[in-house]
């Protein structure tokens, strides 16, 4: 495994400055986002953006994301194609797909049917460009895809494992309460912690997601250790939405401290 940095953790940092931040804290990968209220790569040509990342020794592990991918109207196809074109041009290794999260399409039977339709539509696009698709179940009760097991079952039924993997999000895994990890289906692990002990599981929201330290309530390090024990060797990416992280004047030191905490804890668990 190696550390990566999701752009949402420092969303007001310019594109090149963000890459330099990731490099300075010891990350070897980055996740770039299209939902920051400004153009992907800050409007830079994707090929040029990818070149800057590579010159800094950084892998673009994913472009994040196509929202509501499992609600597949005809207009989703050009959205997916545009994201995949950008991924190819910048040299990204994957694109991320997140489910609808507004309480619609959550019924049993409906969920599975919608997911199957979406995967069957996405597969030819992924095969054409040779990019991995990452499905990220969301653990919120309003999510139309909460279960990794449900996603894996359909991926396997459609023989799509070579092209579609899971993004395991430690926050959403905790919310869903799913015991299964599926390391052999996983190509990205997104991490954050929740340290507010007064929150129940159902109260937790994105704004509570901070950097991982010894106060974490999610068992994030345990999740990472279990995935690694199961054979996972990919990126572990910081995805923190909490304003106190995003607006921190000491974000570089904060990230280094969290990386050292996680690495130290994993070393002690493996000893």
d(CA 76, CA 83): 11
Pinpoint the alpha helices (H) of the chain: 15-24, 46-55, 76-90, 110-129, 148-157, 170-176, 220-229, 243-246, 251-270
Token pair listed for 94: 């994957």
Residues near 85 by beta carbon (within 8 Å), at least 6 away in sequence: 129
Residue 179: predicted pLDDT? 86
Which residues are registered as beta bridge partners of 95? 63, 133
Total-model pTM: 0.97
Place of tokens 């309480």: 103
Task: Convert 38-76 to b/e letters by CB count within 10 Å (16 or more is b).
Answer: eebbeebebeebbebbeeeebbbbbbbbbbbbbbbeeeb
Domain 2-270 has CATH 3.20.20.150: yes
pLDDT digits (tens, 9 = 90+) for 145-193: 999 999 999 999 999 999 999 999 999 999 999 889 999 999 999 999 9
Task: Convert 104-142 to b/e letters by CB count within 10 Å (16 or more is b).
Answer: ebbeeeebbebbbebbeebbebbeeeebbbbbbbbbbee
* Mean pLDDT estimate for the chain: 97
The confidence band for 74, taking pLDDT boundaries of 50, 70 and 90, is confident
Residue 181: predicted pLDDT? 96
pLDDT digits (tens, 9 = 90+) for 78-97: 999 999 999 999 999 999 99
pLDDT digits (tens, 9 = 90+) for 9-39: 999 999 999 999 999 999 999 999 999 999 9
The confidence band for 271, taking pLDDT boundaries of 50, 70 and 90, is confident
The confidence band for 52, taking pLDDT boundaries of 50, 70 and 90, is very high
Residue 126: predicted pLDDT? 97
d(CA 119, CA 197): 38
Nearest to 176 by CA among 209, 153, 143: 143
Exposed/middle/buried for residue 157 (C-beta within 10 Å: 0-12, 13-18, 19+): exposed
**Helix (H) or strand (E) run with residue 10 in it:** none
The confidence band for 75, taking pLDDT boundaries of 50, 70 and 90, is confident
pLDDT digits (tens, 9 = 90+) for 182-240: 999 999 999 999 999 999 999 999 999 999 999 999 999 999 999 999 999 999 999 99
Residue 89: predicted pLDDT? 98
> To the nearest whole percent, how much of the chain has pLDDT over 90?
96
pLDDT digits (tens, 9 = 90+) for 193-206: 999 999 999 999 99
């Amino acid at each position: 495994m190696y550390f990566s940095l999701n752009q949402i953790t420092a969303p007001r940092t310019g594109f090149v400055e963000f890459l330099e931040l990731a490099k300075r804290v010891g990350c070897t990968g980055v996740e770039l986002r299209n939902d920051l209220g400004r153009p992907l790569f800050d409007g830079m040509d994707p090929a040029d953006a990818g070149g800057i990342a590579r010159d800094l020794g950084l892998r673009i592990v994913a472009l994040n994301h196509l929202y509501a991918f499992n609600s597949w109207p005809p207009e989703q196809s050009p959205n997916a194609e545009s994201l995949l074109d950008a991924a190819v041009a910048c040299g990204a290794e994957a694109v991320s797909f997140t489910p609808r999260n507004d309480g619609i399409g959550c019924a049993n039977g409906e969920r599975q049917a919608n997911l199957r339709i979406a995967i069957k539509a996405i597969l030819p696009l992924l095969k054409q460009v040779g990019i991995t698709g990452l499905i990220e179940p969301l653990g919120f009760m309003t999510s139309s895809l909460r279960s990794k097991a449900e996603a894996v079952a359909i991926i396997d039924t459609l023989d799509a494992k070579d092209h579609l993997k899971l993004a395991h999000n430690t926050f959403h895994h905790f919310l869903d309460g799913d015991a299964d990890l599926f390391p052999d289906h996983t190509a990205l692990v997104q991490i954050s912690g929740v340290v507010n002990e007064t929150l129940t599981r159902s109260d937790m929201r994105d704004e509570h997601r901070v950097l991982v330290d010894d106060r974490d309530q999610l068992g994030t390090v345990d999740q990472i250790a279990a995935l690694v024990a199961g054979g996972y060797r990919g990126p572990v990416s910081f995805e923190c939405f909490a304003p106190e992280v995003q607006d921190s004047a000491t974000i570089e030191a904060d990230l280094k401290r969290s990386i050292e905490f996680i690495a130290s804890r994993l070393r002690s668990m493996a000893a």
